[in-house]
Amino acid sequence: MEKNTNRYEALEKFYYFGNDYCDPKLTDLDKSEIKVLSDDYCAELWNEYVSETKNHLMLVNDPKDWKIKNEIKKEYNWQADWNNTNIEALTANVRPFTDWKDDDTILFFWNQSSGVETTWGLICKYWISFLYEDEANIMVNPKSKNVIILSVNGNLAIAERE
């Protein structure tokens, strides 16, 4: 199967990055660092890194349904920090669980057809905006086995890719 050549779309696909939902507001330079994945390319990456059988994390009920293992739930709950716009919270409370660098490329998925490619530093800076939909999001660093799962009710887990 030939890989999709139309990998990216305009940032406007995700309206929340372009308006007042973002807190802090994204600078034009930072907006240019968020590459919106086309539906097909997003699905390719999702199938490669997350699941070939389920199109959303909330549908994963069996370990055979996804490419993630050794999920460890962490005590930190991000929901209160998100509700209170605590911009520094991800850096303070989640960054220590990984060895990811600010310039590492991260794939942030909302589901099989919605995702972006950006850097870890940018996600840390604008994490509140990335969680506009808080029904189980996953961050994949292609250079690392670790993934970060930000799930419903503020649950946080660190897991490994196969």
Please report whether residue 94 resides in a domain: yes
- Length of the chain, please? 162
Question: What would you measure as the largest C-alpha separation in the chain, in angstroms?
Answer: 46
pLDDT at 143: 96
* Rounded-to-integer distance, Cα 85 and Cα 54, Å: 31
Count the helices and strands in the chain (H runs, E runs).
Answer: 5, 8
- Per the structure, the complete domain to which residue 27 belongs is given by 16-54+66-161
pLDDT at 23: 67
pLDDT at 134: 67
User: Across-strand partners of 37?
Assistant: 8
Task: Render each residue's pLDDT in the chain as its tens digit; 162 residues.
Answer: 445 468 999 888 876 776 666 667 888 899 899 999 999 999 999 999 999 888 877 888 777 888 889 888 898 999 999 989 899 999 999 999 999 999 999 999 999 999 999 999 999 999 988 887 767 899 999 999 999 999 888 989 999 998
Residues 6+ apart with CB under 8 A from 20: none
Please report whether residue 1 resides in a domain: no
Please report whether residue 46 resides in a domain: yes
Please report whether residue 6 resides in a domain: no
pLDDT at 1: 42
Please report whether residue 61 resides in a domain: no
CB 21 within 8 A of CB 37: no
Q: Record the pTM.
A: 0.91
Using DSSP, state whether 68 is helix, strand or coil: strand
| DSSP string across 26-52 | PPHHHHTT-EEEPHHHHHHHHHHHT-S
* H/E run at residue 144: none
Please report whether residue 81 resides in a domain: yes
Domain tally, the chain: 1
Please report whether residue 4 resides in a domain: no
